[in-house]
Structure 1
Amino acid sequence: MAAPGRRGAALLRTLLGVWQRGPDAAREWVARLPSPLGCPQRCVSCATGPAFSGPLLASASRPSGQNSALDCFLGLSQPDSSLTCRAPAVSIRKDEQDLLLVHRPNMPENPRVLRVVLLGAPNAGKSTLSNQLLGRKVFPVSKKVHTTRSQALGVITEKEAQVILLDTPGLISPAKQKRHNLELSLLEDPWKSMESADLVVVLVDVSDKWTRKQLSPQLLRCLTQFSQVPSILVMNKVDCLKHKSVLLELTAALTEGVVNGKKLKRKQAFRSQPGIHAPSSAAKSPNTQSVGNPQRTGWPHFQEIFMLSALSPEDVRTLKQYLLAQARPGPWEFHSGVLTSQTPEEICTNIIREKLLEYLPQEVPYSVQQKTVMWDEGPNGELVIEQKLLVPKESHVRILIGPKGHLISQIAQEVGRNLMDIFLCEVRLHLAVKLLK
C-alpha cells in the first residue's frame, strides 16, 4: 500500500493537471471522486455544483479567481445555474465499459432516438465534427487521409433524446483500396452503416478547391442506393474561405439547386451564414432529375443545408440541436452513461496513431505497428499505459524518436493530455520504439 505522502503528492499532481484544463474539467473530475459511501462515480452525464460545502472567499484574495477549477475542488465556487449536461467520461476498464454497453438503458417516459451516419470524402472533417457533437474527443483526427480505419460509434444523450453517431471512413473506390492495399473496412463500413441509418449527414470540405464542386461518384452511388434515407448537407471549413460568395456557387452545384424538393433561391443561399442552415422554403422545382442519373454531380434530395466550421462549438451547436430535434419516438439503444462503443485501449491506440500521422512524414506513420504491453491502474488510481511502436526500418526508429528523444516525448505528452480529458484521471503513458524483426 502506498504511503500517505505518495498518495498526497499524486493527488496534488492530478489536481494541478485538472486545474489547468479549466472549471468544466474540474467539475467533472470532482464529480467522479468516490462518494462518502465508497461507491465510485465513474460515469457522469451532467455537471453539478460543488462537491463540498465551505465558506466563500472574495475572489480578489485568491490568485485563481472565482469559479476556478481549484475553487471547485475546494468547494468555494458558487453553483452555476447555466450549466448544461456534459458528455460522460469513458471508463479506463474494458470490463466496466463492456458492462455499460449492455446495461439496460435508463430511458425517460417518452424516449426518442436517431441513428446518424456521417459520410464524406477522406479528410472532410467527419471525426472532428463527431468529437464536437459528442462534447469530448474520442475519435482520432489528423490532416492525413484514412485516419479513421473503421466504423466508430458515439452517443449523444440529452433529456429524452438519444442520437447515435456512426463516424465512417472516407468513401473510396475499390480500385484505390486495392491499389494502396488498404483495409477492406475502409471500403465496406460506410455502406454497412447506411443499412440502419435514420439520417445521413453528407460532409463536404469547401476549402478543397479540387473536390468541393461535386460529390464523389462513390458518395452519389451510396446516396442513390439508399435514397429512402433522409439526408442533409454540411458544408465544412467555411472559415477557410476568403470569399464567402463562393458558397453560392457551391450550394447550387452540390444540391443541383434543389433542397427539400424545392428550388433554392439564389438570394437565400447567398445570405446563409456559417452555423445556420439555409432556408428551404421556396417554389417547387419544375425539373428535378431522376435519382439514378449517372451524370449527376450533386444531390437534389437534401432536406437541409448547414454551413459551418467543425472547430467552432457555436456552429456545431446549431447542427446538434437539429439532430436532437429529428429524433423519433422509440427506445434508447444505450445507457445515458455511454459515450462511445470503443474500448479504452482502442481509444488510446487511435489517439497515439493520430499523433503519429500528425508528426511523421509521408508514409512513415502508416507502417508503424502498435502493441499495448501494459494497461493497469497505479496505486493512487492513475492509469499506467505502456505501448510499443514497431517500425520496419532503422531510419524510421531515428525519425520517430527524434533528436535527443524530443519527438517521442512530445507525442507521449500530448496523447496523455488527450486521454486525461477522455478518462478524467491522471495518465502515465510510456512509448517505446522498437525495430520490427
Structure 2
Amino acid sequence: MNNRRFARTVGWLALAGLVAAALLAWYVNRQPASPFAQEAAASSEPALISRGEYVARLSDCVACHSLPGKAPFAGGLEMATPLGAIHATNITPDQGTGIGAYSLADFDRAVRHGVAPGGRRLYPAMPYPSYAKLSDDDVRALYAFFMHGVQPAKQPNIPSDIPWPLNMRWPIALWNGLFAPTATYAAKPSQDALWNRGAYIVQGPGHCGSCHTPRGLAFNEKALDESGAPFLAGALLDGWYAPSLRQDPNTGLGRWSEPEIVQFLKSGRNQHAVVYGSMTEAFNNSTQFMADDDLAAIARYLKSLPGDPQRDGTPWHYVTAEARPDSPGAHTYATRCASCHGLDGKGQPEWMPPLAGATSALAKEDASAINITLNGSQRIVAAGVPDAYRMPAFREQLTDAQIAEVLSFVRSSWGNSGGAVDAKAVAKLRGHTDPASSSPIILHMR
C-alpha cells in the first residue's frame, strides 16, 4: 500500500511538473498581442514619416543604434551589462541584416514588448519597459519612418559576449512578467494637458528612467512613474552618476526653474550646468530637436516630482572658501582648474560651469566627477555648431592620487559636501573607461 501511495504521489508530481513545464513553455514562447495584426505595410505618407522622425528624436534611438562614421541606425554599439557585453542591432530597413522584413506588428512587439520575430527575447538594455507607453499613433509613425525615412545599411549584427548558460533568453520572459508593463500611457485626469504631455515623454519615448532611476537586484528600474519615490531619483550607470531629476536642491533640480530646465535641454547649458557624459549624446541628437512646447511640458512634469529631504540633506548654499594653499588638491586646482572654473568655484556661466554647488560635488556618488576629470567631455554640437569649450582629459597629466586630491578639494569647498575621493576609485575607473571621443555621434537623419 505504501509503495502504491508513493507511486501515485510520484505520478501526480510528474504530471504536475509536465503541466508546469508546458505552461512555462507557452508563457515564454507566446507572442504579445499587437493592435496592428492586420497592418502589414508601412505608410509612405510624408506627414507620417516626418512625425515618425520626430518620435525617433524624442526616443533618442540613435544613441544606442549608431556609431561615429557609420550609417545611422546600423547598430554595433557595445554596451556593458552585469552578464557581459551586448551590441546594439541594425534597425535600418535592410532586408537581410536589419528590420526590413518586419511587419508593423513585428515592429510593435519588438519596440513595446521586447520580443523580436520568432519569439526571440530582447535584452532589457533596449528600453521597452519605457517604450511600452508609446501610443499606437506614435508606433505607427515610427515604423513609417524606419521603413521609408532611413537608408538601408547592410551590416551584420554582432553576437553578444554573454557566455552560456547566461545567454539563454527564455528567462527574460519571466523578467518581463515581473518588471515590464504592457499598457500605453494613460493620461491623469487630475492633471492638465501640459503635465500629461511631459509625463508621456519622460516616462515613454524619452525613457529618462533608464539612466536616472536606480535599479534593483534584477537590474529592473525600481519605479517607472511618479507613483514610486525612486523614480528619477538618481542612479549609477556605465561609469556616470545620472543625477536626480526630482526637486532635490542638492542632487536634483530643486534650484532650477522651469525656464532653466527648458534652456538646458534646448541649448545644452544654463547657469547651473553644462551637459556632459551620456547626456551629451542625448542633447546632441535628441533634446535640442524637441519642440518648445514639449520641452516646456517636460519641465512642468519634472518640477512636480517632490524631492527627498532626508536623502538630500540640508540645502546647499555658497560658502566663501578659506585660503588653503597647502591642502591636498588646492595647488592642483589653482593651476589646472581655476582658469576655467574660477578660484571661487563659480565658473563662467553659461560656458564654464560652476563647481560650487554642482551636483557632482554634492552627490555621495563620485563616479561622474572622477570620469570627467580622467576622460574629459565629449564635444557638444548645438544647431550644427561644435562647442569651442570642452573639458580636457587629465588621465595623462595627473596621477590617481592627484585626481583624488583635487576632487576631494572641490567636493569640500564652497559649501560642497560630496566627501573625499579615494585614489583606488580613480584607478578603478581609469581601467574601465576611455577618453571622451572628439568625434561625437551626430545624426543627420535625412
The TM-score, its normalising length taken from structure 2, stands at 0.24
The structure carrying a bigger strand percent of its residues is 1
The structure carrying a bigger helix percent of its residues is 2
Q: Which has the higher contact order (CA 8 A, sep 6+)?
A: 1
